[in-house]
Structure 1
Amino acid sequence: MTLIRSAAISTRLAFQMPWRRRQVKQMCRDGKAPMSVLFYHRVADSVPNPWTISNREFERQVDYCREHFELISLEEVQHRLESGHSPRPTATFTFDDGYAENCAFALPLLIRHRIPCTYFVTTANVRTGEPFEHDVRRNAPLPINTVEQLRAAADAGIEMGLHTANHVDFNQVRSIDHLQREIVDAKADLESMLDRPVRYLAVPFGMPEQMRPAVLQTARDCGLIGICSAYGAYNLIGDDSFHIRRFHGDPEFNRFRNWLTFDNRKNIRRPDLPTSDILDDSDDETPEVTYEECLST
């Protein structure tokens, strides 16, 4: 079924490519070229799961982006959104969670090619070394980045960002104290570990229901300069630069190319975010979003 789906995507992409290219050329002439921000979790050849991509496939995607896009940082994405000028299509690399294996191949590859990258980690897992609950549930616990690994990557030019303290689902958070612990206290904790400022937050799961007004406001209030979602969208001139939109670096190459080849129909379909919010001291009982649901967007 995967091969059939991949072939169908490839055929559709080939048919639509001339139209999409004309569309992007016009956007470039207008200074409104799309900015794509990719997110990954784990690059490794062992213990495959829906949030792991192989070393070979990751390198293939990096090479594709180097050939077809200007590779820029999150800060430059924000600068172009704020200036109202984006002269050419761009791609930006980010990682979520903090898997130790990323230090074996993925991060050295990006560092070697001087490709900007922001690497988001959950502070509690880094502090304790405990594996992520979503891996434990699959009976496949995986090693977590150490503080020493993160410091070494930061020294080599990788920007470190926050992915909350406990990989929390913000759709379950009902109290102000809980929100503060997961963002404000976790930011201070990560800064103390790294001995450098932390500027960005990637919201775990990153779907519209997690991108609540209270989450964005708390991030602003504690000095973060940007917050990343993960529900699948481009960054376009006119968008709020504080909210950086991302899509998954899909291990299936045709799906990956399909997302990176700008299609305005995806932009038209992107969801609205919540506009109202209530925080109190009630229990957090909303069911958690699964990784599979997040990556299926």
Structure 2
Amino acid sequence: MDFMRLGFKLLSATAARGRLSILIFHRVLPRPDEIFPDEVHAQRFDQICAWLKAWFQVLPLDQAGHLLAQGRLPARACCISFDDGYADNQQIALPILQKHGLTATFFIATGFLQGGRMWNDTVIESLRHCRLAELDFGEHGRYRLSDAASRRAAIEAIIGKIKYLAVEQRLAATEDLLARSGALLSEPLMMGPDGVRRLSEAGMQIGAHTVSHPILARTAPELAREEILVSKRYLEDLLGQPCTLFAYPNGKPGRDYAPEHVAMVRELGFQTAVSTAWGASGPGADPLQLQRFTPWDASKSAFGLRLMRNLIV
């Protein structure tokens, strides 16, 4: 038996001790990105899927959530999830998942399905395509853009500065950045409604991720509820089936969402919801606040060992 498979089996040998590992991804690029070399690309995702199939029982998220709540989660249980709704999820990730016979859940921010772009991607692509040696971003600082490393540093710094602004302020800041950069952005990064349908028809699960991906804790309660409800109804109308899965935008408990938002999710009829709190959910876990984590290690052994440590945190 594979050493890693044995390790995962021992760490979850009985249903009473069963813990659910949920991996979180966003994009699967066609090839490595020089600015973000650690970003998952097709070859790497294929490798990760092979490891997960060998080590775990990869389950649909709704099924895993029900089994965990009932104390019947099988040993080595795992789920795969994607956030936001990038076009490469359907174009690149789906064929790889199908190759390995795996299922995944795709959480869709529905407001970006009609040719929109998420604010952080506006930041990334503005600086990627900027031809200036140094960018003046007004009150947010000046940034050197001489090579891939300096562009990445600038991207990370700017995202950190504007992430928690109000939605309108954040949008205004990103549009200002785009104008200052002189970049021309035309390539659509998000999938359209047809892409969501194709994922569902291929047996993948679809969950809601709000409309515009706001930080719920920084959003007025009535607007937060509307963001959650409208995304749920849009997906139900699009797919003709109930939407019972939800992912909190940004997803850090206490910082990005609060107990009142968990109550909203429950009241609106979601049965399973996920955060971005590291760890693996065990017996007694709140089904509307399941944990997620993805190792960043490149080697098989390091990737597997970090997943094992995540099970015992």
Counting only pairs closer than 5 Å after superposition, residues 158-237 of structure 1 correspond to structure 2 as: 158-173=204-219, 175-208=220-253, 209-237=255-283
Larger radius of gyration between Structure 1 and Structure 2:
2
Distance in 1 (CA, whole Å) between partners of 2:8 and 2:204 is: 33
Question: In 2 relative to 1, CA 182–251 (structure 1 residues): closer, same or farther, beyond 3 Å?
Answer: farther
Distance in 2 (CA, whole Å) between partners of 1:224 and 1:247 is: 21
Which position in structure 1 is the counterpart of 2:306?
259
1:55 alignment partner AA: A
Superposed CA RMSD? 2.6
1:176-229, Cα deviation, whole Å (9 max, x unpaired): 221122101221122222332211111111112223111111111111111110
Matched, 1:78 2:123: no
Which position in structure 1 is the counterpart of 2:296?
250
Which residues of structure 2 form unaligned runs of 5+?
A: 129-184
Of stretches 65-74 and 255-264 in structure 1, the one that deviates more from structure 2 is 255-264
Secondary structure of the residue that 1:52 maps to in structure 2? coil
2:234 alignment partner AA: D
**Which of 9, 14, 18 is matched with 1:33 structurally?**
18
Partners of 1:27 and 1:33 within 8 A in 2 = yes
Q: CA deviation at 1:162?
A: 0.8
Q: CA deviation at 1:32?
A: 1.6
Question: In 2 relative to 1, CA 51–241 (structure 1 residues): closer, same or farther, beyond 3 Å?
Answer: farther
Which residues of structure 1 form unaligned runs of 5+?
A: 1-16, 267-297
Distance in 2 (CA, whole Å) between partners of 1:151 and 1:90 is: 27
Partners of 1:124 and 1:165 within 8 A in 2 = yes
Distance in 1 (CA, whole Å) between partners of 2:311 and 2:100 is: 31
1:134 alignment partner AA: N
Which position in structure 2 is the counterpart of 1:93?
80
Question: In 2 relative to 1, CA 255–97 (structure 1 residues): closer, same or farther, beyond 3 Å?
Answer: farther
1:36 alignment partner AA: S
Which position in structure 2 is the counterpart of 1:45?
30
Q: CA deviation at 1:81?
A: 1.6
Distance in 2 (CA, whole Å) between partners of 1:184 and 1:57 is: 35
Which position in structure 2 is the counterpart of 1:6?
none
Distance in 1 (CA, whole Å) between partners of 2:268 and 2:32 is: 37
Secondary structure of the residue that 2:214 maps to in structure 1? coil
Distance in 2 (CA, whole Å) between partners of 1:264 and 1:100 is: 31
Partners of 2:11 and 2:311 within 8 A in 1 = no
Of stretches 191-200 and 25-34 in structure 1, the one that deviates more from structure 2 is 25-34
Distance in 2 (CA, whole Å) between partners of 1:50 and 1:187 is: 34
Of stretches 74-83 and 147-156 in structure 1, the one that deviates more from structure 2 is 74-83
Distance in 1 (CA, whole Å) between partners of 2:261 and 2:275 is: 11
Matched, 1:155 2:201: yes
Matched, 1:238 2:284: yes
Give aligned pairs, total: 247
- TM-score in terms of structure 1 length: 0.75
Matched, 1:131 2:117: yes
Partners of 1:34 and 1:262 within 8 A in 2 = no
User: Greater helix share, 1 or 2?
Assistant: 2
Which position in structure 1 is the counterpart of 2:132?
none
Secondary structure of the residue that 1:53 maps to in structure 2? coil
Q: CA deviation at 1:88?
A: 1.0
- TM-score in terms of structure 2 length: 0.71
Which position in structure 1 is the counterpart of 2:95?
108
